[in-house]
Chains A and B, each alone.
Chain A
Amino acid sequence: MKKGFVFIETLLVLAILAFGLVNLCSMYIKISSDINIKKYYDNVSDLYKVDVIRSLLTNKNVTGDMSSFNSANCTTYMGSNCTTLLSDMSASNVYLINDVETVMTSQNENIKNSMREYLKTINEAQTHKTIIVEFNYNNRAYYASLYI
């Protein structure tokens, strides 16, 4: 004699359906947020700017895992007009990196979270010395990088 068994079946079906819908929703939210994030990485104009900065480097040595400079202290790495050049390009920081994976997993507090997120999009399969430039415009950080 079955009493209330079908009721439990209905509840189970509803629970499974709701679980599936929640998973679908969370996947879609992740995809749409990824699209938003990719807007700020490796824009064509920014890549051309990185190419200019890369061509003007006079010192490509990396101290430790990462060296960085900005418009205030760039003369060690670039020519004498680097301050104006980096300001005109809205380049807030320039990073020279030996190995992306090491920097990404580093405990160095100077590495911003936004930088770590960008590093995840760079190919780690090969070890290349890399120049990464952080641009700051439209009240946001944009990143672009090239191999040295």
Chain B
Amino acid sequence: MNKKGFTLIEIAISIGLLSVVMIFMFRLLINLRDSENNISDETEKILTKTTVSKVLNGYVKSGGGISSASCTTNKCDIVLKDNSNMELSLSGSILTYKDTDSDTLLLKKSLIKTDTYTLELINHNNLHIIKIVNSNNPEYNIEIVNYDRSE
């Protein structure tokens, strides 16, 4: 007797096994897509934090450091060692840094829109730390660090 083709049972079992694997594969693909979106968002947030931190710390360092600073929850007035007056301000999640003497906007960046930000100042023993605090996700806090070595 020539046996060509599959038996019905073989086909049924193959289709069953294939279905199970396909279900797991689709679930995996959906999870991978969600993970990919989460990783993209996470990377974007980390990049924003790194960029803003680098730029602000760079500006302060190029101005010779902080001479004095005073902050409210959404605005910091900073005087640098080269006598330039700077303003760091928060409007919602929009952060701006400008030279108030020449009214030049040096940085305008949109932080995480869904989060709440405030400004804090640590100021003693020649150490100035200006913190841009993310109340929802503190791991995305940004800090400007300056130590006055002149004394």
Contacts from A to B (Cβ < 8 Å): 1-4, 6-7, 10-11, 14, 17-18, 21, 25, 28, 31-32, 35-36, 39, 43-45, 48-49, 52, 55-56, 81, 84-85, 88-89, 137-138, 140
In the complex, the answer to whether A32 meets B21 with C-beta atoms within 8 Å is no
Interface residues of B in 18-75 (CB under 8 A from A): 18, 21, 24-25, 28, 32, 35, 38-39, 42-43, 46, 49-50, 53-54, 57
Bound CA–CA A81/B147 (angstroms) = 13
Partner of B147, one of A3, A25, A45, A52: A52
Nearest neighbor of B122 in chain A, beta-carbon distance? A88
Instruction: Assess the B42–A14 pair: CB atoms within 8 A.
Output: no
Residue of B nearest to A138 (CB): B138
Residues of A within 8 A of B46 (CB): 39
Residues in A whose Cβ lies below 8 Å from that of B25 = 21
Determine the distance from Cα of A31 to Cα of B38 in the docked complex, in whole angstroms: 13
**Overall SS of chain A's interface:** helix
Of B21, B42, B53, which contacts A18 at CB under 8 A? B21
Within 8 Å CB of B50, what residues of A? 43-44
Known pairs A28-B35, A44-B50, A49-B145; A7 contacts B42 (CB<8 A): no
Q: Are B147 and A55 in contact (CB under 8 A)?
A: yes
- CB of B21 within 8 A of CB of A17, answer yes
Residues of A within 8 Å of B6, CB to CB, are 6-7
A6-B124 in contact given A18-B21, A39-B46, A49-B145 (Cβ < 8 Å):
no
Instruction: Give the residues from 81 to 136 in chain B that come closer than 8 angstroms, CB to CB, to chain A.
Output: 122, 124-125, 127, 129
Determine the chain B residues whose CB is within 8 A of the CB of A10 once the complex forms.
10, 14, 17-18
A37 to B21, CA, bound (A): 32
Which A residue's beta carbon lies closest to that of B43? Answer: A35
CA distance A10 to B18 in the complex (A): 9
* Interface check B142, CB cutoff 8 A: yes
> B147 contacts which chain A residues (CB < 8 A)?
52, 55-56, 85
Complex partner residue of B127 from A11, A43, A85, CB under 8 angstroms: A85
Docked Cα-Cα span, A32 to B37, in Å, equals 11
Q: Which of A18, A21, A44, A85 has the most CB of B within 10 A?
A: A44
User: Which 10 pairs between the two chains have the least Cβ-Cβ distance?
Assistant: A45-B143, A44-B53, A48-B145, A52-B147, A10-B14, A7-B10, A138-B138, A81-B125, A44-B54, A45-B53
Say whether A84 contacts B125, CB under 8 Å.
yes
A103–chain B nearest beta-carbon distance, Å? 26
Assess whether A21 is in contact with B28, with CB atoms less than 8 Å apart.
yes
Q: Kindly provide the distance from the CB of B150 to the nearest chain A CB, expressed in whole angstroms.
A: 12
CA distance A101 to B6 in the complex (A): 61
Known contacts A10-B17, A44-B50; can you find 16 more A-B pairs with CB under 8 A? A1-B3, A7-B6, A14-B17, A14-B21, A17-B21, A18-B21, A39-B42, A43-B49, A43-B53, A44-B54, A44-B57, A45-B143, A84-B124, A85-B127, A88-B127, A140-B139
